[in-house]
Structure 1
């Protein structure tokens, strides 16, 4: 960061810290990110950083809170006013893809937290995010069944798991390939295949 970061308000400094961590996570293993690296990215001393966060765990909590708030808000905004459940599902899918494309460090951090064997607050926050995300998907899938857009015998639980797993698969492939843009290129065709698998036989997008 530049000289301006040294003169931010407390709230702005905390947001800047979160953004710095997300940026660093897009460049390296999130578990290897140190408070020294965060402070250096922001052009601060560790002492200045710790005036806003008591430790690294508190920083991770702030990051997970930011991710949850922004991802769910963007999904809710994207589906607002869409009457078709299938179109709403597509909006959720593409909005999630856009979010990851803009912040490739986010999925790295989520995967890193979920892989931790110990129970931590950041890990529980990721689990809560997935729970709220899953609830939104289930509502849309049930609405799709009720409105006749989706197969009446559709297993909503399995369909929600597959939806999230499909996005995770796209993310992992893009990370392995080192090509973040790939996720946006592949997303429309992948969603079309997902939709064909859950829709009524006579239904089309």
Structure 2
């Protein structure tokens, strides 16, 4: 017999798959129930609303990304390497999870409660804060001071990641976010870290 937790997980996995397989379309609870082989009433025994199902997916994204970001901060010491790893994490996560990428860009939240859009905005704000703190910590080791401040630098990095994910969703998942990323990162690294990008310091 499946447990309640397993049923909830099954519902969330089915919702993520439908977001991936029906790009540009809203997913109704009726369609989701048919996909799983449940009645709508059975869905609502596990989640009180579709909004709560979407919120469950957002929670999964948060838990996955921030646990890995914390690992990056532990394993990487260089400011540039930390930022590079976080950017790669965002892009590769979206590429592996197209349905969840729709959540990240808001495409799957059209017509849904404002609370869900706010939660996604807060997710990106938290990532930008991590990037800003990394850049601030790195900048105090640099003489002379970097040309680009930590706030505009972090915003630039996150904007590029968001743009690549948006292209991925807009192309119906054909424009992969990681395509050409190594070359693009080299451009970003020079823009944000300047000449120090190619001169790793033991103080970083």
Q: Please, which runs of 5 or more residues in structure 2 have no aligned partner?
A: 200-204
For residue 53 of structure 2, the aligned residue among 59, 65, 70 is 59
Q: Please report the RMSD computed on the Cα atoms of aligned residues, expressed in angstroms.
A: 2.6
Which of 40, 43, 46 pairs up with 2:37? 43
Partner of 2:152: 158
TM-score by length of 1: 0.84
2:202 equivalent in structure 1: none
Give the aligned partner of residue 7 of structure 2: 13
Query: Structure 2: how far apart are the matches of 1:203 and 1:58?
Result: 43
Q: How far is the alpha carbon of 1:190 from its aligned partner?
A: 1.4
CA distance in structure 2 between the partners assigned to 1:64 and 1:150 by the alignment: 41
8 Å CA contact 1:22–1:106 kept in 2: the answer is yes
Q: Provide TM-score, normalisation by structure 2.
A: 0.84
Change (3 A) 1:203 1:160: closer
Question: Is the alpha carbon distance of 1:86 and 1:51 closer, same or farther for their aligned partners in structure 2, counting shifts above 3 Å?
Answer: same
Structure 1: 5+ residue stretches without partners: 1-6
Per-residue CA distance 1:108-167 (angstroms, 9 max, x = gap):
123226975886221221122122111111111112212339952322221111111111
Q: How many residues align?
A: 199
Structure 1 residue 194: deviation in Å?
0.6
Matched, 1:144 2:138: yes
Deviation at 1:182, TM superposition (A): 2.7
Residue correspondence of structure 1 range 1-205 to structure 2 within 5 A: 7-29=1-23, 32-112=26-106, 120-148=114-142, 152-180=146-174, 182-201=176-195, 203-204=197-198
CA contact 1:148–1:200 (8 Å) conserved in 2: no
Which secondary structure does the structure 1 equivalent of 2:146 belong to? coil
